[in-house]
Amino acid sequence: MLTRRSLGSTLLPLVLTAILAATALSAIAALASPRQALGASTFTAKCDANLRTKPSSSSTRKAELAGGGQMYAVTMVSGGSWSLVCNGRSYKGSSWYKISNVNGRSAKVRYGVSYVYAATALFTKNTLYTKYAKCDDVSLRVSASTTATKKGTLPAGASVKVVSRVTGGSWSTSCAGDDESGTSWFRIGYVTGKSVSSRYGVTYVYAATSLFKVATTTSPPPDGTTASGRLEGIDISHWQGTIDWT
């Protein structure tokens, strides 16, 4: 007959064994499951990057994205192992970016597939910069051209998060008393705190760089109490407070 002490001594190793086994199984499951990126993000290629139809080095190569090119990854997944050299450094791994957009155009339009994949070591994540509309009626377009489809307009003070600056079609603007012309555009990923994809159904919108400023302080709207205007059908005529839409 087991005494209380001997029973406890017998059960303790069994409990510890069960805990260790459960931990090991959890670790295996984590390794086997796809790893998710922390939200969809925009990345820049550090060097020339192969874009493939599947997360595997043996899958079909659809294109090569030149160094400095940009892409939009919806997530990060585990796939086949890769070994590569980028900018003189050697990398090994098995994580891949699942890419829906390359240089402002969808993978579907460019390559005829919904997604392409590339080894994660080939890219660096872009830093988003906040800019503020200098005047009313700032046009947001689907590409960097004044003839491109306009997806919406911004009132003065509305914030955007800029992914990058690109060269596009010529523009001439008059905004907040400044008359300017040029070919530089902002590629925009977020508008007033909401992603462009969810707001307009495209990955990016574009606007002439002269129409924005970097706000050093938040301040009330011009009349001190309210700002009038509409943003993609959203009535903001009763908005009050400081211009801080991030």
The CATH number assigned to the domain holding 52 equals 2.30.30
Residue 179 shares a structural domain with residue 141: yes
Q: Closest Cα to residue 157, out of 49, 58, 231, 69?
A: 231
Q: Which CA distances in Å does 20 have to 12, 17, 30, 31, 83?
A: 12, 5, 15, 17, 33
Residue 231 shares a structural domain with residue 133: yes
CA triplet 32, 34, 35: central angle to 5 degrees? 115
Residue 218 shares a structural domain with residue 200: yes
Asked whether 102 and 84 are in contact (CB, 8 A), the reply is no
Rounded CA-CA distance 246/190 in Å is 9
Rounded CA-CA distance 21/29 in Å is 12
Residue 169 shares a structural domain with residue 182: yes
Rounded CA-CA distance 91/50 in Å is 15
Residue 112 shares a structural domain with residue 47: yes
In a domain, 21, yes or no: no
> Which H/E stretch holds residue 25?
helix 4-32
Structure tokens at 88: 């003189």
Structure tokens at 44: 């820049």
How confident is the model at residue 34, as a pLDDT?
38
- The per-residue b/e assignment along 79-94, b for 16 or more CB within 10 angstroms, e otherwise, is beebebebeeeeeeeb
Asked whether 118 and 99 are in contact (CB, 8 A), the reply is yes
Residue 133 shares a structural domain with residue 224: yes
In a domain, 2, yes or no: no
Q: Largest alpha-carbon pair distance within the chain?
A: 97
How many domains does the structure of the chain reveal?
Answer: 2
In a domain, 17, yes or no: no
pLDDT tens per residue, range 40-59? 688 999 999 999 999 999 99
Q: Which residue has the tokens 């008393």?
A: 177
% of the chain beyond a pLDDT of 90: 58
How confident is the model at residue 166, as a pLDDT?
87
Q: What is the mean pLDDT of the chain?
A: 79
How confident is the model at residue 17, as a pLDDT?
58
Domain that includes residue 79, residue range: 41-125
Beta strands 205-208 and 178-191, pairing class:
antiparallel
204 Cβ neighbours under 8 A, 6+ residues apart? 72, 101, 104, 163, 187, 188, 189, 196
At 77, give phi and psi (nearest 5°).
-130, 160
Q: Is 23 exposed, middle or buried (0-12, 13-18, 19+ CB in 10 A)?
A: exposed
Domain final residue pick, 59, 90, 125: 125
How confident is the model at residue 126, as a pLDDT?
85
Domain final residue pick, 125, 144, 164: 125
pTM over cut 0.75: no
Per run of 10 residues, the mean pLDDT along the chain (length 246 residues) is 51 55 43 43 92 97 93 94 95 96 88 96 91 96 95 96 91 94 93 91 93 68 39 37 32
